[in-house]
Chain A
Amino acid sequence: MPDGRIRPYLRALVPVERFGGPAPTAAVTADPAITRVPRPFVLTSGRVTGTDPTIRLETQVTARYSGQRWDSPELSRLPSEMRNIVLLCAEPFSVAEIAAQLRLQLGVTKVLVGDLRAAGYLDVHVRNSADPSTPDVIQRVIDGLSAIT
């Protein structure tokens, strides 16, 4: 369900072959109407609430297709803030780290991450189990911290 909805402003940016169609053409990529995109706050219409509640501060995010260059046909059409998120997440990063590294507000970051997941750019590693506080996990943290000197 969270993967399903693609917000209108992103529809034009979604790589067509994700949906079984042909790859984007050079003409589409060069269209100035597509590359001229608004800033994140405008993109999110100021939305910082009502985001997917399973996307939390510590939630890990990875780029779905690694090794993409910033000027690849797919990424170059994204607003720079969104492109930067995809590029940063070549390695796993938490939502909080993404916000801090890219100097985005947390609420804005959550919205953009959710939108980029819906558009197929990111994997958001949401936990199935609601509570990670199992004795096993806590014991591993205790052991790990005890090793700190």
Chain B
Amino acid sequence: MDLAQSPDPIRSRPSVPLPVKIVVAGGFGVGKTTTVGAISDIAPLTTEAEMTEAALGIDNLGVESQKTTTTVAMDFGCVTIDQSLKLYLFGTPGQSRFGFMWDDLAHGALGALVVVDSNRLDDCYPAIDYFEHTGLPFIVGVNAFHGQLTHELTEIRWALAISDQIPVVRFDARERTSVRDALLVLLGTALNRALGEPSG
């Protein structure tokens, strides 16, 4: 929009890449860190963020802000697309009470891959609710633990109650090319959205 008047300082400095990011969300133990590690140029790094008391207070409805703090771990990796473009992947647990952190993660993200273990579908509900609410392009990636799915993708789509516009793909979090293909489906959705076309 106002790009013409105010040139992006990053573009005028070729040594500093434009950072873009994809969020990898889902419940605990569904394969988020594995997904990030499979595609990243570097071994996944971990950082911690401390939840504020206010954030706890919002979550614990009815419970007045307690003097406790919770530390949330977040992993990330990156893929250097070229010298001027760097893709970051942020993997973060999908509890609804971590919403404050998702705002930072999701702002300006190209999209989100919601990783699902077909044995524990309800673990991903907070993530799906969040991305539906914020309007960030997302797809559901069903991580095929042991090479098998306990449910067909159509059953999973039905159980998750997501629109037909949202792609549901099967992938293997341990396989680089499989993660790549899941991300390409997500980026196709994001591209359609950016072009103003109906997705799917």
A: residues with CB less than 8 A from B are 48-49, 56-60, 62, 92, 94, 96-97, 99-101, 105-107, 109, 125-135, 137-146, 148-149
Contact = CB atoms under 8 A, between A and B. Distances in A.
Interface residues of B, number: 55
B19 A107 contact: no
Contact of B50 (A94, A105, A135): A105
B42 to A, nearest CB: 9
A137 B49 contact: no
Task: In the A-B complex, list the 7 residue pairs whose CB atoms are closest, starting with the nearest.
Answer: A144-B81, A100-B45, A58-B19, A106-B49, A99-B47, A138-B191, A135-B194
A109 B104 CA distance: 14
A92 B79 CA distance: 15
B18 interface: yes
B88 interface: yes
Contacts, number: 139
A138 B47 contact: no
Contacts of B177: 148-149
A143 B50 CA distance: 36
Interface of B: 1-3, 6-10, 13, 15-21, 39, 45-50, 52, 54, 71, 74, 76, 78-79, 81-82, 85, 87-88, 90, 104-105, 107-111, 176-177, 180, 183-184, 187-188, 190-191, 193-195
A107 B20 contact: no
A137 B9 contact: no
Given A148-B176, A148-B180, A129 B191 contact: no
B17 A92 contact: yes
